[in-house]
Amino acid sequence: MEEEDLKKRKKRSIAIGLMLVGFAILFYAITIIRLGGDVFNRPL
Partner 1 sequence: MSDVSLKSMDDVYPQSAGGEVRDYFQLLKPRVMSLVVFTSFVGLMLAPGTLHPFLGFVAILAIAVGAGASGALNMWYDADIDGQMQRTAARPIPRGRVSKDEALALGVVLSCFSVLVLGLATNWLAAGLLALTIGFYLFVYTMWLKRRTPQNIVIGGAAGSFPPMIGWAAVTGSVSLESVVLFLIIFLWTPPHFWALALYRCRDYSRVGVPMLPVVKGPDSTRTHILVYSFILVAFSLAPVALGFGGVAYLIMSGLLGAGFLYLAYLVFVHRVGVEADGHAKRLFLFSIFYLFALYLVLLLEAMVPGMMVPTGFEFKV
Q: Which residues bind partner 1 (CB under 8 A)?
A: 1, 5, 8-9, 11-12, 15, 23, 26-27, 29-30, 33-34
**Between 8 and 39, CB nearer to partner 1:** 8
Local structure of 44: helix, strand or coil? coil
**Between 3 and 43, CB nearer to partner 1:** 3
Residues 6+ apart with CB under 8 A from 39: 31, 32
**Between 10 and 43, CB nearer to partner 1:** 10
Cα distance between residue 34 and residue 13, in whole Å: 31
